[in-house]
Copies of this chain bind each other. A is one copy, B any other.
């Protein structure tokens, strides 16, 4: 019976444990707070990622390890790796932590991505905007997720406030993409190179935070789905990746998909896989890192997910939504905080739409 060590004890870690228990796996987390979402369902080594002693305590209690948070320091993963196998690799983690590495990876692999220029000073920002034109998007190279570390610049006058907003840290300027919708695709790769892909998923964001997801993405042609799979497959193969990866894409509406970013972990855009009659992204990530065969990824219906952000209706109301499968993370309400989500898997697209609408109708205003 293997024990999996996980860096990070948030909801992704919690859901990894809940997906792994039925396989007879055990879990141990490293997190600063004992009563974190994962700590409510599994033991926790309380400590900091940067503390070698805490990492050693984790390593002693597990057979292999992974992470649930892409901003875990690469050094922590490298240190842990001296004691137990860790997947995905530090190289994969590094590629996702720095937008310049990430963009370079896309470009190298022939995956379309918005034109970009790396900037390290205000002068460079000015020259980048001149080259790329307005609107442009200024993004910090590191520590970006849920829309953090991003500013849209519409005119020359907005350059200075934008530069101040990112505290003048090393950044990228990207050309703004006029996309029709945002999508994401999840791929999973085992150590032996076998791969599986979930269908292209349509995602919607509210103030930078994922709010809803629909899978398969409505009206996505087979060609579009194949294109997305091809892109994520290139990344999996180049990184010799082991585990689940998410690729966020802009769908231009004309058959083109433009890569936005990757997340080297299970991802909010794949939470619908928990209730789709398939092997969930959480279980497939565990299978990949534990050397088990991958599971099926073709959903048994029209799937949808609604995030519960900031505040959530009473549990009584949530479980009263017909056909809803409720997932709460054991967190206290706080503005902008992901507290849980609701999944649907229904026989028609119309059923799904009605269920999502009914759910959104009872959410507190954001």
Contacts and interface: CB of A to CB of B under 8 A. Distances in A.
Contacts of A361: none
Interface in A301-333: 301, 315-316, 319-320, 322-323, 325-330
A23 B292 contact: no
Nearest to A330: B24
Contact of A315 (B23, B40, B320, B326): B23
B277 A23 contact: no
Contact of A18 (B1, B22, B320): B22
Nearest to A331: B24
Contacts of A23: 315, 319, 326, 328
A215 B24 CA distance: 25
Interface in A171-189: none
A277 B300 contact: yes
B328 A316 contact: no
B1 A277 contact: no
A345 interface: yes
A304 to B, nearest CB: 14
A296 B322 contact: yes
A196 interface: no
A254 to B, nearest CB: 35
A141 interface: no
Contact of A21 (B22, B40, B316): B40
A73 interface: no
Given A277-B277, A300-B277, A316 B330 contact: no
A354 to B, nearest CB: 15
A324 B330 CA distance: 29
Interface in A276-311: 277, 287, 292-293, 295-296, 300-301
B40 A340 contact: no
A287 B41 CA distance: 19
A45 to B, nearest CB: 16
A275 interface: yes
A249 to B, nearest CB: 29
Contact of A319 (B295, B315, B327, B328): B295
B328 A22 contact: yes
A41 B41 CA distance: 6
A24 B293 CA distance: 31
A293 B319 contact: yes
Interface in A1-56: 1, 14, 18, 21-24, 26, 40-42
A330 B2 CA distance: 10
A5 B250 CA distance: 48
23 contacts: A1-B330, A18-B22, A21-B40, A21-B41, A21-B330, A22-B327, A22-B328, A23-B315, A24-B315, A24-B328, A24-B329, A24-B330, A26-B40, A26-B330, A41-B41, A41-B42, A275-B277, A287-B319, A293-B316, A293-B319, A293-B320, A296-B322, A300-B300
A315 B293 CA distance: 10
A26 B328 CA distance: 12
A242 to B, nearest CB: 16
A33 to B, nearest CB: 16
Contacts of A320: 293
Contacts of A340: 24
Nearest to A294: B319
A330 B292 CA distance: 17
